[in-house]
Amino acid sequence: MMQFGGYCRPATLAEAVARCSQAGTIPFAGGTDLMVKARSRTQYRDKTIVDIGGLAELAMIRDEGGRLSVGAAVTLTELLNSRAVRDTASLLWQSASHAANRQVRNRATLAGNLANACPASDCIPALMVLGASVTAQGPEGRREIPLRELFRSCEACLRHAGMQVRTCYFLETATKKLTLRPGELIVSVEVPKQPTEERSLFYKLTENQSAGMAVLNFAMAGSLGPDGRVATFRVCPGGAFPRPRCFPEEENPLIGQLPEQARFAEIAGEIARALGEEEQTLADYGYKSRVLPEIIHDGMAQIFCGIPMEGAEA
């Protein structure tokens, strides 16, 4: 049984913003994580749930030329059924197809996946690699926030193995794990379209084949120039860092170079060194420190050299 203090379903976005500006309110669209937490905890008894899932203006995927705008009420299933997403943001499509299971995807939203801000999220790494942003609306108006500026560092999330919904320390992720201002809610996710020449890959490790939550994952994209040298490359691991990070973080040593194993090892080594800084944070650091550099290396070999990665989809 859900343990909420109140529930409202606003008729307009303006009404939703007004309600969310009041103390003790929590916005949600799909509620896949919130509903799980509310069954086993009493801390929501004084909270009013603001259901924005029925707002038609938030339920659209719009083509805006160089990018797609995905409304906050668009479910992952609707995202996967979108030809525009599959054709122009294939990395996002790949990651969303791995999220949880069909029943969850039928309710879960892309904006909610970001708002929950779990380090093991499947969609966050893909959106980071694509250079996505969110549009937030609140009492002070509307603003666009690059994803790299949206998340707060959440070391607590990595201190317990599994990062399951029931064990999440935070009841209100928007105030603890995001840089949203008081009363703001995400109204859409802005996703740049991928260049046609770019290759991309999403890879996920789980405890078993039926598990929905990633132990580790990564999203990766890159391209070669006409001369066969690396033109673009970026990768974002999930389940390893308290805040989403894209690598390389500084100057990209791959650009202009031939795609060689030594170059791949250099990027994998950079990630391994960064992971070493989280040794006291990660509950299962020993395993992740061994595995993450290896799968990043193998992913690069698939992207640039066409060497299939074990367990990866073609």
List phi, psi (to 5°) of 76.
-65, -35
pLDDT at 167: 56
* CATH number belonging to domain 199-305: 3.30.390.50
Buried b (16+ CB within 10 A) or exposed e, 62-74: eeeeebbbbbbbb
For 181, other C-beta atoms within 10 Å of its C-beta total 14
pLDDT at 44: 79
pLDDT at 204: 94
pLDDT at 207: 77
List phi, psi (to 5°) of 210.
-90, -5
pLDDT at 223: 98
Q: How many CA atoms lie within 13 A of 218 on its CB side?
A: 29
Alpha-carbon gap, residue 238 to 216, rounded angstroms: 6
Residues with Cβ < 8 Å from 34, sequence gap 6 or more?
Answer: 26, 28, 49
pLDDT at 263: 95
54 near 73, Cβ under 8 Å?
A: yes
pLDDT at 25: 92
Termini Cα distance of the chain: 42
What are the angstrom distances between the C-alpha of 163 and each of 2, 216, 283, 314?
22, 11, 10, 28
214 near 120, Cβ under 8 Å?
A: yes
Q: 248 preceded by cis ω (within 30°)?
A: yes
DSSP assignment of 82-126, as one string?
Answer: -HHHHHH-HHHHHHHHTSS-HHHHTT-BHHHHHHHT-TT-SHHHH
pLDDT at 133: 98
Q: Tell me, what amino acid is at 225?
A: G
69 near 189, Cβ under 8 Å?
A: yes
Listed by start position, the domains of the chain span 6-50, 57-192, 199-305
Alpha-carbon gap, residue 50 to 40, rounded angstroms: 20
What's this model's pTM, rounded to 2 decimal places? Answer: 0.94
* CATH number belonging to domain 57-192: 3.30.465.10
Alpha-carbon gap, residue 136 to 16, rounded angstroms: 12
- The mean pLDDT values, 10 residues at a time, for the chain of 314 residues are 83 95 91 74 83 96 98 98 98 95 94 91 97 97 97 82 60 80 95 97 81 84 97 96 93 95 95 95 91 97 95 68
